[in-house]
Amino acid sequence: MGISLPLTEQREMSAEIPTDPDRARYPQYGRYLDELEPGQVFEHPRGFTFDTANMLHFARTHMQANPLYLNAQYARAHGFPDLPASPQMVFNVTLSLGVQNDSEKAMANLGYYQVQFVRPVYPGDSLRAFTRVLERKDRGPDKPGIARIRTVGVNQHDQVVLQYERKIMVGWRGDRLPTTPAPEVSLEFPGEHSPMVELPLHDAPAMAGLTGPNTYCDDFSPGDIIVHANGRTITEEHMALTYLVGNSHPLHFDRIFSSGLSGKMSGEPIVYGGLVFAWLEGLASRDVSEHALWELGYTEGYHTQPAFAGDTVGALTRILAVDDAPGSGDYGVVTMQLIGVKNISAAAALDKHGGDLFVKEDAKRGLGKEKITDKIFEIERRLLVRRRTA
Amino acid sequence: MGISLPLTEQREMSAEIPTDPDRARYPQYGRYLDELEPGQVFEHPRGFTFDTANMLHFARTHMQANPLYLNAQYARAHGFPDLPASPQMVFNVTLSLGVQNDSEKAMANLGYYQVQFVRPVYPGDSLRAFTRVLERKDRGPDKPGIARIRTVGVNQHDQVVLQYERKIMVGWRGDRLPTTPAPEVSLEFPGEHSPMVELPLHDAPAMAGLTGPNTYCDDFSPGDIIVHANGRTITEEHMALTYLVGNSHPLHFDRIFSSGLSGKMSGEPIVYGGLVFAWLEGLASRDVSEHALWELGYTEGYHTQPAFAGDTVGALTRILAVDDAPGSGDYGVVTMQLIGVKNISAAAALDKHGGDLFVKEDAKRGLGKEKITDKIFEIERRLLVRRRTA
Amino acid sequence: MGISLPLTEQREMSAEIPTDPDRARYPQYGRYLDELEPGQVFEHPRGFTFDTANMLHFARTHMQANPLYLNAQYARAHGFPDLPASPQMVFNVTLSLGVQNDSEKAMANLGYYQVQFVRPVYPGDSLRAFTRVLERKDRGPDKPGIARIRTVGVNQHDQVVLQYERKIMVGWRGDRLPTTPAPEVSLEFPGEHSPMVELPLHDAPAMAGLTGPNTYCDDFSPGDIIVHANGRTITEEHMALTYLVGNSHPLHFDRIFSSGLSGKMSGEPIVYGGLVFAWLEGLASRDVSEHALWELGYTEGYHTQPAFAGDTVGALTRILAVDDAPGSGDYGVVTMQLIGVKNISAAAALDKHGGDLFVKEDAKRGLGKEKITDKIFEIERRLLVRRRTA
C-alpha cells in the first residue's frame, strides 16, 4: 500500500509537442432536455465536507440569528452533540452538488417542492447527492421543456439528510455539443417515504437569555404578518459564495457567459437563488425562528425575479398555521410564508402592495391581478418552535 | 429525552389563509434614549463560537502580522495551549453582540474607554455579552442624548474575557415604534474590578526567525513615530464582515436603510468602526506588535470620520510610554497611540499635517487648531512586548 | 512559568508626550537589487497554520473540482489520513510567506521553475518558508536587475513540503530608504536534492461515483487540447484573498500605492498572480485533474498579462505527455500545459488564436509571431492520475 514517486527535474516540453487545434475537445456539463430521461439516476460529483467554520461562515454571511447555528454552547445545552449545520446550508449545498448533472444547462429553476430535512448534519460530515428524473414535459420542438427531478442528500453513513423535488426549464440540445456522461451510480437511489426526524432535544429550556422573549411558538397565530426591519445589500461576494456551496452554473460567476446570453437573463451574473433564499431566511430569523430547533421543510418555493450584485433584499413573513408538535407539549409546529422583495424596504413593500404580496405570483393572472416586480421570492416553511411554557 | 417527528407531506396553505395587512407587526431592535435607564442590564442575544478558522480568517483579513494569531506552532512554542484569538477579534465580536440591545438605534458610536482583555479566548470557546447602562445624558427634547454603557464578554465558563465602556449618541423615540423587549438576564452582571491577567508564557524566546529583529520592546522609546508603509483598500467585503462578527446594525449592510437617512450618515453603508480599527491595527502590526504577547487594553478610542467601500486606509503609531512589566524582566509594557488616515498614504499625511495628526480631534477647537478630515481614527493601546534580551 | 499582570486603569497619555515629526521612522520591507546577495538566506516571517476550513475555502473559492480537496470522506477512502491541502494552496502560501523578504520591492514576478511538491500538508500543520538568493543579474545602473531565488516550505517537523525557484525583477535602491533587516535564520537552509514523494494511497479505486468516467489517465494523449467551458469573473475579493494566503505586497490591496506607480503597473490593484493561477487550475480541474492524486510539480510558469478586479478568466489545457508512474500500474503521470486567457471565452480564444495560444510568449519574437494580449498565463504541470483499470 502506498506509492513512492521520485521527483525528477521537470523538463520543458511544450515546444516539442505539435499543436493541432483540431485535436480540441470541449467538455460540457449539465443536460439538455433530450438527455434527460424519466427514471434516470445521477450520482453527483465531488461531495462536500461540512466543518464548524464553513457552517458558521454560511450562517453569519446570510444574517442568521438563531443561536443554534452560531453558538456551540447553546446547541449542546439544547441536547445536540455539536453545532448542527443550518438546514438552509444543507439545502444550498445539496442542490448545488446536483447542478453539474441536473441544471448546468437549465435556463431557469422553476420551483422547490417537498423539501424535507431528515437528519442533522454536524462538523466533519461529508455529504453527497443523487437525483432521479421523475418527469419530462415537452412543449414542442421550439420551446424549452420542463423536467421534474427528485434529489436526495446523504451523509458518509449513507443516511438521508435531505430530500426534495425541483422543476427546471431546459432547452433542447439541437446541434449543440452533447454533455459529458455521468459515472455509474454507486448506491441504490436513496430516499425515505415516511421519514421520521429524531432530534436529541432536552426537555428543559436552556440559555433563554440568548433569544428574545416574544418569539416563542405561543407568540404566533395564523394570519400574523411580521415585517422584518433590516435589509441586506448583496455585493459581488455572491460569485464566490456560489461555488463555496458547490454550485457550478456559470450564470452566477462568469460574466462572459451571462453577458453572452440572449433574453432577460443576459447581462450581469445572476445571484444563485439558494443564496437569495438564505439571505431572506436570515433576515427573518430573529423575528420568527430564533427559538426554532428544527426546520421540517419547505414547499412551493419560487424565485419570481432574479437578484444581482447591488440589489438590497428584504423579507416579510406571514404565519399560516400553528400546530401541536406530535408527542410533545414543549414545542409547536409553525407553518409560515416567507416573501422576499428587493430595492424597497419590507415595510414600504407592504404599504405599496398590501395583501397581494402574499398571493403566489403564478396565481396572479387567474385572479386578475398584476405581478409584483418588487417581489423576488415566495415559499412556505414549517418549523419546530419551542413554547414559552417549556 | 429527544423527540421523534414524522415528516408528512407539506400541503400548500397560503391561499387558504386570509391576508389582513392590519395584522402586520414591525419588530424593532436597539433602544431609543427614552428606553435606556441607568442601572438597566441586558444579556445580549445569540453569542458567538470561536474556532481556529474564523480566528485565522479575521486576523488575515485585517492584515495581522503577529505570528501569535496566525501560526499555532508559534503560539504553542510560547506557552499558549492553542492559537489564541486576537484581542482585536474578541473586541469586535463582543461589541457586535451588544449592538442589538445597545446601539442598533444609535446614531453614532462616540468612543471606547478602558477596554481590558482579561483572559485569552481559544478555538471552541463560546462567548456571550452583557451590558449595563451607566449613565444617560439628556440634552433636551430636540437633541439626541448620550448614553454611557459598560459591556462585559464572558466565555462558556462564565469567566470574563473582556470589559469596556462605550459612549453612544441616541435619539429620543418620539412617535416611532417601541423596540422589542430584552429577555430576563440569566447571570448577575459580571465584571472584574482589579483584574489580573494570567498568561501561560514560557520564559525562553522561541521561533525568533518568524519575527523581525528590531521590533522588540527595547526598540521603542516615548516619542518615536512609526509610519506604516502599506495601506489597505476596503471593498464592499465590509458588509459581510459586519455580520461575520455579529454586528446587526443596518447602517453597515443595508443600502435602503443608509440611503434613507438624513444628514451626514446618508448614502452608502458606512464601514463598521470595529473593522476599521482592526485594519489599522493590522497595518501597524509588523512594525510595532509582532513581538507582543498580550494586548492589555485600549482607551480614548474615537472614529473621527466614517469610512466607506473604496476608501484606502493607512496607519501611524506614536510611542507614549515604555515600562517594565510587573514581575518579569523578559517583557515590557509599551503604550502607543494608533492613528488612522484615509485616501492619503500615512507618510503623506505626516508630511501634510505634522504633529497635529497626534492631537485628539475633540481637543482641536480648544487649541485653536483645525480638525483633520483625512484622519479617521485615534486610540491609545497598551501591549506586553518581549524584550530582545529575553 | 507564566506571568500575572494586573490590569490597572489606563490613563490617557497622548497629550503629555511631545510630538516631534523628526522622530518618525518609515520601516520598509522587501529588498532592492543592491540588498540581494547571492548565497544570502532568509527565514520568512509569521508562518501559516492550515486547517480544514481554510483549505476548503481556498479550494472552493478557486473553483476546485477534485474531490480530494473538497471531501474528507473521499480523501480517507483513497488512503490519506485526512483531507490534504491542495498543492495549489501550499504553493500560494509558501510563495506569499516569502514576499516580505523576497519581492515586496520587486517590480515583477518573471517566472516559476521546478516547483516540486514533496509532502502532503494536513489540517493543523504550520508551514514556514526559507529563501536562498541564487543569482543576481545586473543590467546596468539605470535598469532593474533580475534575481533568481530558491524557496523551500517546511512543516512543523522541519520536513520539506515544497521547493521551487523564481525569477523576479527588482530595481536598485538608489536614494530610497533601506529595507528592514531580516532576523537570524534558525535552521540550515532546507531542501531536497532527489526528493521522493511517499503517498499513502490505497490500491483499490474508491467512490468512483464522485468523479467523471472520462477523465482517467487513459483518456489523455499527447496533443489533446481541452477547452474548459466555464470562466470566472474575479471581483475585488482578490484584495482580501491576497493576505489570506499571507502575501504582503501592497500592489495587490493598496490603491494609494498602486495608483502612485508610474508605468504599466499604475492604476487599480493587480490581482496576485498566485490567485490567478489558482483560478485557472480550478477552472480546468473537472476536465483534467479530478482523478489526480498528486501534483508532482510545475515549471516554466509565466504571467504574461496582469489581471484586475472585473476581469473574467478562462482556461485551456494541452496534454504534453502521458507516462507510466514508477512502480505502479494503477496510475500514470500526465504532463500538461495550462493556458489562461481573460475577457474572452476559452473557446473563442482558441478560434481566434489557434495553436499560437500554446506558444510561450517570450518565444514569440524569435518565431516572428505577435504576442497575444488576451493571454494571461502559461505553465507546464505534472500530475499523478489514476488509470481507469485501477
Residues in chain B: 390
Please state the separation of Cα C208 from the chain's center in Å: 29
B-contacting chains (≥3 CB pairs under 8 Å):
A, C
- Show residues of chain B in contact with C238, CB under 8 Å: none
pLDDT, tens digit, for every residue of A151-179? 999 999 999 999 999 999 999 999 999 99
pLDDT along chain C (390 residues), means of 10: 91 97 97 94 97 98 98 97 98 97 92 98 98 96 95 98 97 94 87 94 88 96 98 98 97 97 88 98 98 97 97 98 92 98 98 98 97 98 89
* pLDDT tens-digit map of B130-173: 999 999 999 999 999 999 999 999 999 999 999 999 999 999 99
**What digits encode the pLDDT tens for the residues A102-112?**
999 998 899 99
Cβ atoms of C51 and C57 closer than 8 Å: no
Burial class (CB within 10 angstroms; exposed 0-12, middle 13-18, buried 19+) of B137:
exposed
Best of A61, A69, A73, A194 to disrupt the B interface (most B CBs within 10 Å) is A73
Mean pLDDT value across residues A74-83: 97
Residue A349's pLDDT is what? 98
Which of B1, B94, B256 to probe the A interface (max A CBs under 10 A)? B256
**B59 in Cβ contact with B89 (< 8 Å):** yes
* In the block, residue with C-alpha cell 470522506: C73
Q: Is B17 on the interface with A (CB under 8 A)?
A: yes
Q: How far apart are CA B69 and CA B78, in angstroms?
A: 12
- Residue among C25, B49, B58 at smallest CA distance from B66: B58
Contact of C141 with C328, CB cutoff 8 Å: no
Report residue A259 CA to chain centroid gap: 25
Among chain C residues, CA nearest to B114 = C10
* Cα–Cα distance measured from residue B93 to residue B191, given in angstroms and rounded to the nearest whole number: 17
Q: Which chains touch C (3 or more CB pairs under 8 A)?
A: A, B
Answer for the pair C314, C345: CB distance below 8 angstroms, yes or no: yes
> Residue B183: its pLDDT value, please?
84
Q: What is the CA radius of gyration of chain B?
A: 23
Write the DSSP symbol of residue B46.
Answer: S
When CB atoms are compared, the residue of A47, A51, A181 closest to C214 is A181
Q: Is the pTM of this model over 0.95?
A: yes
**CA proximity to A129, closest of A96, A88, A104:** A96
pLDDT > 90: percent of chain A: 93
User: Are B355 and C49 inside 8 Å of each other by CB?
Assistant: no
Residue B97 near chain A (CB below 8 Å): no
Interface partners of chain A (CB pairs < 8 Å, 3 or more) are: B, C
Q: Say if residues A97 and A246 touch (Cβ distance below 8 Å).
A: yes
Whether A26 contacts chain C with CB within 8 A: yes
Axis-axis angle for helices C237-244, B237-244 (nearest 10): 60
C234: closest CA of chain A, how far (Å): 9
**Residue-wise over B187-196: b if at least 16 C-beta within 10 A, else e?**
eeeebeeebe
Q: How far is CA B227 from CA B284, B337, C247, C259, in A?
A: 8, 12, 20, 20
Does position B226 have pLDDT exceeding 80, yes or no? yes
DSSP H or E run through B241? helix B237-244
Is the pLDDT score of B390 beyond 60?
A: no
Q: Is the dihedral of CA A3, A9, A12, A13 positive or negative?
A: negative
Q: Kindly write down the DSSP assignment for every residue of A215-257, as one continuous string.
A: -SGGG--TT-EEE----EE--THHHHHHHHTT---GGGT-HHH
Number of CB pairs < 8 Å for B and C? 246
SS (H, E, C) A27-56: CCCCCCHHHCCCCCEEECCCCEECCHHHHH
| Residues ≥6 apart with Cβ < 8 Å to A318 | A223, A224, A225, A226, A336, A337, A339, A358, B14, B17, B19
DSSP C28-55: --S--GGG--TT-EEEPSS-EE--HHHH
Residue A99 parent element (H or E) = helix A87-102
Span A57-70, pLDDT tens digits: 999 999 999 999 99
Could you give the CA distance from residue A117 to residue A24 in angstroms, rounded to a whole number?
A: 44
Quote the DSSP letter at residue A355.
G
Distance CA C247, CA B210 (A): 15
Question: How far A209 CA lies from chain B's nearest CA (Å)?
Answer: 6
pLDDT of residue C262: 86
Distance CA A270, CA A255 (A): 9
A146's grid cell: 420542463
- Give the model's pLDDT for residue B205: 79
- Compute the average pLDDT of residues A338-350: 98
Q: Say if residue A390's pLDDT is above 60.
A: no
CB contact under 8 A, A239 and C235: yes
A244 touches chain C (CB under 8 A): yes
| Per-residue confidence (pLDDT) for residue C1, from 0 to 100 | 66
Confidence of residue A1 (pLDDT cuts 50, 70, 90): low
Q: Using CB atoms within 10 Å of the CB of residue A362, give its burial: 0 to 12 exposed, 13 to 18 middle, 19+ buried.
A: middle
> Taking Cα atoms as reference points, which of B323, B324, B340, B334 lies closest to residue B294?
B334
> What pLDDT, on a 0 to 100 scale, did the predictor assign at position C39?
95
Q: Using an 8 Å CB-CB cutoff, list chain C residues near A50.
A: none
Are the C-beta atoms of residues C25 and B347 closer than 8 Å to each other?
no
**Out of B20, B26, B49, closest to residue A223 by CB:** B20
Predicted pLDDT at B1: 66
- The residue among C109, C122, C125 whose CA lies nearest residue C164 is C109
Residue A84 CA to residue A59 CA, distance in Å, equals 11
User: Do C10 and B358 lie within an 8 Å CB cutoff?
Assistant: no
Determine the Cα–Cα distance for residues A77 and B82; give it in Å rounded to an integer. 25
For residues B53 and C55, the answer to whether their CB atoms sit within 8 Å is: no
Residue of C nearest to A241 (CA): C61
- Say yes or no for a CB contact (<8 Å) between B208 and C17: no
Mean pLDDT of chain A: 96
Could you give the angle at the alpha carbon of C149 between the alpha carbons of C146 and C154, nearest 5°? 160
Contacts with C4 from chain B: Cβ below 8 Å: 196-199, 326-327
Closest CA to B327 of B138, B151, B198, B193: B198
Q: What is the pLDDT of residue B266?
A: 85
- A56 close contact with B: CB closer than 8 A: yes
Q: What is the CA radius of gyration of chain C?
A: 23
Amino acid C358 reads F
The whole-angstrom separation of Cα C375 and Cα B379 is 47
B29 touches chain A (CB under 8 A): yes
Answer yes or no: do B199 and C27 touch at CB < 8 A: no
CA dist., res. C78 & res. C248, Å (int): 36
DSSP state of C308: B
* DSSP structure class, residue C126: E
Contact B294, B217 (CB under 8 A): no
Touching check for C195 and chain A: CB below 8 Å? yes
ipTM surpasses cut 0.90: yes
Mean pLDDT throughout A40-52?
A: 97
Nearest to C382 by CA among C273, C300, C279, C276: C300
The residues in A 131-150 lying below 8 A from C, measured between CB atoms, are: none
What is the least distance, in Å, from the CA of A278 to any CA of chain B? Answer: 14
Q: In angstroms, what separates the C-alpha of C48 from chain A's closest C-alpha?
A: 17
pLDDT digit string (tens) for B36-91? 999 999 999 999 999 999 999 999 999 999 999 999 999 999 999 999 999 999 99
Tell me how far apart the terminal alpha carbons of chain B are, to the nearest angstrom.
56
